[in-house]
Amino acid sequence: MIKILIVDDEKPICDLIDLNLSSAGYHCVSVQDGLKAINKIEEEDFDLILLDIMLPGADGYDIMEYIRPLKIPVIFITAKHEVKDRVKGLKLGADDYLVKPFDVVELVARVEAVLRRYNKTEQILTAGDVVVDVEARRVTKGGKPVVLTNKEFGLLLLFIQNKNVALFRENLYEKVWEGEYLADSRTLDLHVQRLRKKLGWEHNLVAVYKVGYRLEVQ
């Protein structure tokens, strides 16, 4: 399982990130202090680090200097939004830079993008008895193959990577169809209906009023 270190001095933010990334199938460890982060990096192996800049003990820039020789991918997550701060973070070797407040769907997408760049993505995803082989684009339910269209497969990946998270209709449409969402379009709803039927998710893939859809799994 992909292991991610979350470094942020605000515990509620750590908990929010942990909740969403854990739902997407990642194992997360969080610390709220810069020196504790360095200790954790020495003690354990991580596939990715999400790093705040303003931290007690040692700031994110100092930690980045320590991380760089280890070749661990890093995404800065910080309230420092000025261009000079982004440039400094990227020049120090960070792979991405996300400004607070952020959308959790965007966070998961950026995590996926960085992990793909390093060939560290999970190739097998699960939700109940549904198993997705990402590389082979193969889906099974209860061990039996399920045939999906490209758009249905794209939706399934988003839902299974964001379990128990409400996803906005606009985000789903724009990511799968790669175009601007039209409010009167029924395309997304029809594809969700077919996905429900094919996977037996009539009670799992639920509509969220004025938002979009959420995949509910234990």
H or E element in which residue 42 lies: helix 34-43
- The predicted structure's pLDDT at residue 185: 75
| CA distances to 14, 113, 167 from 186, in Å | 37, 29, 16
Structural domains present in the chain: 3-117 (3.40.50.2300), 124-215 (1.10.10.10)
Q: What is the mean pLDDT of each run of 10 residues along the chain (218 residues)?
A: 92 92 86 95 94 92 90 90 80 88 87 86 82 88 94 93 88 85 82 96 94 91
Cα(30)–Cα(36) distance, integer angstroms: 10
Alpha helices, H only, 150-211: 150-161, 169-177, 187-199
pLDDT of residue 122: 67
pLDDT score recorded for residue 91: 85
Per-residue confidence (pLDDT) for residue 16, from 0 to 100:
92
Residue 118: the pLDDT is 85
| 78 DSSP 8-state letter | E
Residue type, 141: K
Number of C-beta neighbours around residue 88 at 10 A: 17
